[in-house]
């Protein structure tokens, strides 16, 4: 014997879950993500669905979200991963930012050993650029 319609229960459950979702502290969720996984979010947390569950013999609420996380990967010319991070600011502080703002800083004195390494690196980069551009030149000639 039914006491009520299944649709009525399902609609009330949906309203109940939606009410809890509206009251969630998104900033607290973002903070926990950062503390546990070092994730910084690029966009808002996107709510997908929620439900009542049993967790460790207790009634609990499960909410599924989708998040967009910035991902930065640094790898060398051999394809080996050097670093992977979901926090973009770390890469900018450690490398990219230095390259972008190098012109605004006073360079430390360069030792002859370092000067030789820099010259070799510059030569290697010039060779790589030449190799990259070589197929373009050959194609233009044909």
Q: How far apart are CA 93 and CA 87, in angstroms?
A: 11
Does 115 lie in the same domain as 136?
yes
- Specify whether 86 is located in the same domain as 134: no
pLDDT in the model for residue 11: 93
97 and 75 assigned to the same domain: yes
Residue in the structure block whose two tokens are 């010319």: 77
pTM (two decimals): 0.52
The Cα angle at residue 45 between residues 94 and 82, in degrees rounded to 5: 25
pLDDT of residue 8: 94
The mean pLDDT values, 10 residues at a time, for the chain of 142 residues are 92 93 90 84 87 92 89 85 72 45 46 67 72 60 53
Domain that includes residue 121, residue range = 110-142
Alpha-carbon gap, residue 75 to 99, rounded angstroms: 17
pLDDT of residue 86: 76
Q: What is the pLDDT of residue 62?
A: 93
Q: Which residues pair with 118 in a beta bridge?
A: none
**Helix/strand/coil percent split, the chain, to 5:** 55, 20, 25
């Amino acid at each position: 014997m039914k006491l009520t319609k299944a649709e009525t229960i399902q609609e009330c459950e949906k309203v109940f879950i939606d009410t809890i979702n509206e009251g969630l502290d998104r900033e607290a969720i973002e903070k926990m993500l950062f503390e546990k996984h070092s994730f910084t979010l690029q966009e808002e947390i996107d709510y997908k669905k929620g439900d009542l569950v049993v967790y460790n013999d207790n009634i609990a609420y499960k909410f599924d979200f989708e998040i967009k996380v910035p991902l930065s990967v640094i790898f060398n010319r051999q394809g080996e991963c050097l670093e992977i991070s979901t926090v973009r600011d770390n890469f900018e502080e450690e490398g990219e930012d230095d390259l972008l703002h190098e012109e605004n800083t006073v360079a430390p004195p360069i030792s002859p050993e370092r000067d030789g390494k820099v010259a070799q690196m510059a030569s290697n980069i010039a060779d790589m650029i030449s190799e990259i551009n070589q197929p373009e030149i050959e194609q233009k000639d044909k």
